[in-house]
Amino acid sequence: MSGPAPIVVYVDADACPVKDEIYRVAQRYGLTVKVVANSPIALPREAWIERVVVSEGPDVADDWIAERAGPGSLVITADIPLAARAVKAGATTLAPNGKLFDSAAIGMALATRNLMDDIRSAGGMTRGPNAFSPRDRSAFLSAMDLAVNRLKRAGYGG
């Protein structure tokens, strides 16, 4: 009889500010991490961390992650459309600031993103996201730890 399905962490890595925190939590729990980007990025040399370099192009990394994410996986991304796809597939999905994207919150996040995109397309001025802070980093660590523990309680393993 096989054990619980492993928890796989998919990282949308191109602009992810919490890669070191992801590695630390993943190592503590014995998780596999797949770091997905359009170009090679430096990674720790660990057997449980896999570099996935996808071809150049819009949404290629997002597509790679979305095609593989599902129940028992953890997706780390600031990309709202990718977060929506991951949530729809049943993956636990976190933003780098620790915000949990779930079925209740993703619709509003998508609507806000689309509204801001429309305003910018019409020549309107919008301000970008707030600067990433130590508080965001701390919130992310807590959220990832909580997410992994919830997945373990749901029957997924390391």
3-state secondary structure 38-78: CCCCCCCCCCCEEEEECCCCCCHHHHHHHHHCCCCEEEECC
Q: Is the dihedral of CA 77, 58, 55, 40 positive or negative?
A: negative
Locate the domains of the chain by residue range. 8-153
Looking at residue 1, its pLDDT comes to: 45
pLDDT tens-digit readout, 5-53: 899 999 999 889 999 999 999 999 999 999 999 999 999 999 999 999 9
Residue 100 phi, psi dihedral angles, 5° rounding: -85, 125
pLDDT tens-digit readout, 90-132: 999 999 999 999 877 766 666 665 566 666 677 766 565 667 7
CATH 2.50.20 fits 8-153, yes or no: no
